[in-house]
């Protein structure tokens, strides 16, 4: 669906536009669920199953948007305010998936 050129030029970046299941989403989901740690590209590949050659490119694009940060070989979730709601959503999803409420 096309958007107006005004929206294109002055678009609002307040909300994250991530489609579930995409490579950027999977990487952010992994890093957000492990926000107290930093990982190498190989470790991110191992955890997400994303092609090794794609991990670096995706991380670079996410870094350009301020969504991840890196130091040396290690990458971590960024400190962007938009990530707070994303991390909460990821946390809620993982808790509901492991909830033992219905177990006998």
Q: Is 41 exposed, middle or buried (0-12, 13-18, 19+ CB in 10 A)?
A: buried
% of the chain exceeding 90 in pLDDT: 51
Mean pLDDT of the chain: 82
26 contacts 50 by C-beta, under 8 angstroms: yes
pLDDT for the residue numbered 19: 83
- Is 60 exceeded by the pLDDT of residue 78? yes
For domain 20-93, the CATH architecture is Orthogonal Bundle (1.10)
Given a contact cutoff of 8 angstroms between Cβ atoms, the answer to whether 64 and 41 are in contact is: no
Looking at residue 100, its pLDDT comes to 53
This prediction's pTM: 0.71
- Say if residues 44 and 57 touch (Cβ distance below 8 Å): no
Give the residue, 36 or 12, on which the prediction is more confident.
Answer: 36
Top-confidence range, 4-8, 57-61, 80-84: 57-61
Q: Which long-range contacts (CB under 8 A, 24 or more apart) does 84-88 make?
A: 86/16, 86/18, 86/28, 86/32, 87/32, 87/33, 87/35
């Amino acid at each position: 669906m096309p958007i107006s050129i005004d929206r294109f030029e002055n678009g609002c970046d307040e909300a994250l536009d991530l489609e579930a299941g995409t490579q950027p989403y999977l990487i952010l989901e992994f890093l957000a669920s492990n926000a107290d740690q930093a990982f190498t590209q190989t470790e991110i590949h191992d955890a997400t199953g994303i092609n090794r050659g794609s991990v670096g490119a995706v991380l670079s694009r996410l870094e350009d948007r301020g969504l991840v940060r890196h130091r040396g070989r290690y990458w971590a979730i960024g400190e962007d305010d938009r990530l707070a709601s994303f991390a909460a959503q990821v946390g809620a999803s993982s808790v509901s998936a492991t909830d033992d409420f219905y177990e006998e």
